Amino acid sequence: MTIRLGDIAPDFTQNSTRGQINFHSWLGDSWGVLFSHPKVFTPVCTTELGEVSRLKNEFDKRNVKVLGLSVDEADPQKKWERDIHETQGHEVNFPMVSDADRKVSDLYGMIHPNANNTLTVRTVFIIDPAKTVRLTLTYPASTGRNFDEVLRVIDSIQLTENHKVATPVNWKNGDDVIIIPALSDEDAKVRFPDGWETKKPYLRIVPQPKK
C-alpha cells in the first residue's frame, strides 16, 4: 500500500512497549509522528530514539505524540531501550509498536522489497488531528534522520493551517513568510494591515504572523 499526502492514516490496533495501542484513539486530538525502524539493536536508530526522547518537550509544546515502530516483539524492544538510555543519556519516553506480524508495516507501505523484503524502511509520517497524512520522509538505513527538520515542518504546517501564508526555503519559526498567491492584495491588506514587501506579484514577503 502507498500512503500519499492527504490520505487518512490507516488505523490499527497493535501491541507496544506501553501496552496495546489503537492508533486513532491513542492520537485523539493530537498531532502525531509515526516513525519506523528496521529492527532492534541497530546503531543509527539507537541514536535517533535517544534524540527523539531528548526532544519530548518540544513535541509536547506542539501537541504532538510520537510513536516508534519496529518489526520485533515488545520484549526485545524493552531491552533495546536500556541500551538507548545507557548510550544516549535519555530514557525512551514514548511507545514503540511491536509489528512482528508486519500488519502496520504493510498498511503504511514500510516494506520496500528492492531494499529489503523483510525489514521496515526508515520512514517518518506526520499526521494531523484529523488523522490526515501531512508529510512522509523515507531515509536509507545508513543516514540518521534529522528531527530538527521534523519539528520545522510541524511548525510550518501548524502555522500555515491558520494563516494564508507559506514558508520559504530554509524557513525557521520566527522568519518571514510568503503570502500565498491565491490571496488577493485587497484581502491581504485585511490580514496583514502593516503591509508586506512585493518582490514579484506572486512573491510577497511578510513577517510571520502569530500562530
Residue range 3-13, pLDDT digits in tens: 999 999 999 99
Residue 70 in this model has a pLDDT that exceeds 80: yes
113 pLDDT tier (thresholds 50, 70, 90): low
- Which residues are paired to 21 by β-bridges? 14
| Residue 120, pLDDT score | 54
| Residue 77, pLDDT score | 87
- CA nearest neighbour of 120 among 107, 130, 131: 107
pLDDT one-digit tens code per residue, 130-148: 999 999 998 888 899 999 9
**What mean pLDDT is reported for the chain?**
92
Give the least confident one: 45-49, 69-73, 158-162: 69-73
SS3 content of the chain, % helix, strand, coil (to 5): 30, 25, 45
* % the chain with pLDDT above 70: 94
Q: From residue 55, how far is each of 27, 87, 136, 149 by CA, in Å? A: 18, 16, 20, 12
Cα atoms in the 13 Å half-sphere on the side-chain side of 103: 13
Residue 152 in this model has a pLDDT that exceeds 80: yes
- Which residues are paired to 135 by β-bridges? 126
Q: From residue 19, how far is each of 16, 22, 38, 162 by CA, in Å? A: 5, 10, 21, 35
**Which one is catalytic: 9, 33, 40, 45?**
45
Residue 76 in this model has a pLDDT that exceeds 90: no
Query: What's the whole-number mean pLDDT along residues 40-66?
Result: 96
191 pLDDT tier (thresholds 50, 70, 90): very high
Residue 117 in this model has a pLDDT that exceeds 70: no
DSSP classification of residue 111: B
pLDDT higher for 58 or 140? 58
Note whether 120 and 70 are within 8 A (CB).
Answer: yes
45 is catalytic: yes
| Residue 109, pLDDT score | 87
Q: Mind listing the domains of the chain with CATH numbers? A: 13-143 (3.40.30.10), 163-206 (3.30.1020.10)
